[in-house]
Amino acid sequence: MKYIFTIAASALLLWSCSNDPEVAQEKNLSAVNNSAVQTKAIGSKVMMQAFYWDVPAGGTWWNTIKGKVPSWNSAGFDAIWLPPASKAQNGGYSMGYDPFDYFDFGSYNQMGSVETRFGSLAEINSLITTAHNNNLSVIADIVLNHNSGGASQANPYTGSNTWTDFQPASGLFIRSYNDFHPNNLHASDAGSFGGFPDLCHDKTYVQDWLYNNSNSVAKYYKNTMKFDGWRFDYVKGFEPWVVKNFKNAATGFAVGEYWDANAATLEWWANSAEASAFDFACYYKMRDALQNNDLTQLNGDMLLKRNAYRAVTFVANHDTDEIYNNKILAYAYILTHEGYPCVFYRDYEEWLDKNKLNNLIWIHNNKASGSTTYLYADNDEYVARRNGTPGLIVYINNSNSWQERWVDTNWASTTIKDYTGASTWEPVTQADTWVKVQAPPHGYTVWSVK
């Protein structure tokens, strides 16, 4: 997450404070998206992170993504992850990580604009419908740790004024100092962020509006906006049961951003939240392997090796992009290994060879199944086997020349080929299943039955 926050901007937003913050103000919003989801469960193919930090402002992004949806479906993606879609403090300039009104998707004139940075309510509805019509699920980015844009009010728990008077134009989830830290329950929770008002998830009122009410954030996003899954921002800031409760209320795929390189910690969080987690352990192992020319790092501890079902693997995202050397090799790793791989928009659309990525996505969706056996690793070479049907052998070579290696396969007396096209060999495995394969310099090959 990245944020732009100024107290001066908040000071310009002077709202009345006449509502009782502990009384839910119900207001029916029209159901505006009736698209029927005809998609498979998220996780069967590959996720696209459909944004980057500071995508073009001006309300054009939803339409930009909509135009790419058919080709992404054809390439083999099964879901798109959108940035936080509701109105934030910085209005038409915000990337959404400073949430103000969870129910304003570009239809209320507040925070200096009607539309969000990405577009209007009608445009996001059209995007979601188009995605569903192209068999793509849509993942909403949800920021539950903190809020931004509230007006100043006297706060008896701090003895001073705080920016905690939230009067959203939607009329839903009005908030005051009672709903943040400190309050009458406790001073803080797992962690605040950047000086923003920190939501108190132990408050019944907050729980009701986030997931318990019939028109809570969770149920409104699911039933009215038709989102299919949830990416939870900065989950270190609150307890895992918050994600668990939200996911159970709304149903659908859930993944948390628990930014930690320790695989055991990621496993603990994923099990506690009953959700997937971005595999930062895998990310940092790949970074170190490629930057330090030590592919033995790829045999290190990762969430995908502890619980592949809970691991969302990635090479870059809107927050971090530290794999500079031979980044395509990192994609060759995550798109041939276990876990649910996520491709970063700029890597796919702008920076890397799209044909190579499409080839790897096809390999992932058609060949990469079953458990993994790690066959060999040294500074320059890495070889692994997927044991499903048909399964594959992936050979990553980070040296300056072609390399060859004998490997043990699951195929006896079978002709195999490299599905990347880098090698023209079509060797026949021996009766004992061994075969010699090769890989190009600073490249990779992926072998499977012909």
Tokens 């040296």 -> residue: 399
Rounded Cα distance, 36 and 297, in Å: 44
CB 282: neighbour CB atoms within 10 A?
A: 29
Superfamily in which the 372-449 domain is placed by CATH:
Golgi alpha-mannosidase II (2.60.40.1180)
Q: What are phi and psi of 384, to 5 degrees?
A: -140, 160
Can the peptide bond before residue 182 be classed as cis, meaning omega within 30 degrees of 0?
yes
Residue 88: enclosing H or E segment and its boundaries? strand 87-88
The pLDDT profile of the chain, 450 residues, written as one tens digit per residue, is 544 333 333 333 333 333 333 333 333 343 345 444 445 679 999 999 999 999 999 999 999 999 999 999 999 999 999 999 999 999 999 999 999 999 999 999 999 999 999 999 999 999 999 999 999 999 999 999 999 999 999 999 999 999 999 999 999 999 999 999 999 998 877 777 778 999 999 999 999 999 999 999 999 999 999 999 999 999 999 999 999 999 999 999 999 999 999 999 999 999 999 999 999 999 999 999 999 999 999 999 999 999 999 999 999 999 999 999 899 999 999 999 999 999 999 999 999 999 999 999 999 999 999 999 999 999 999 999 999 999 999 999 999 999 999 999 999 999 999 999 999 999 999 999 999 999 999 999 999 999
Domain ranges for the chain = 7-13+22-366, 372-449
The pTM of the whole model exceeds 0.85: yes
Can the peptide bond before residue 390 be classed as cis, meaning omega within 30 degrees of 0?
yes
Superfamily in which the 7-13+22-366 domain is placed by CATH:
Glycosidases (3.20.20.80)
Q: What are the CA-CA distances from residue 289 to residues 57, 156, 268, 306, 319 (Å)?
A: 36, 52, 25, 19, 20
Tokens 């506690």 -> residue: 272
Tokens 């930014």 -> residue: 259
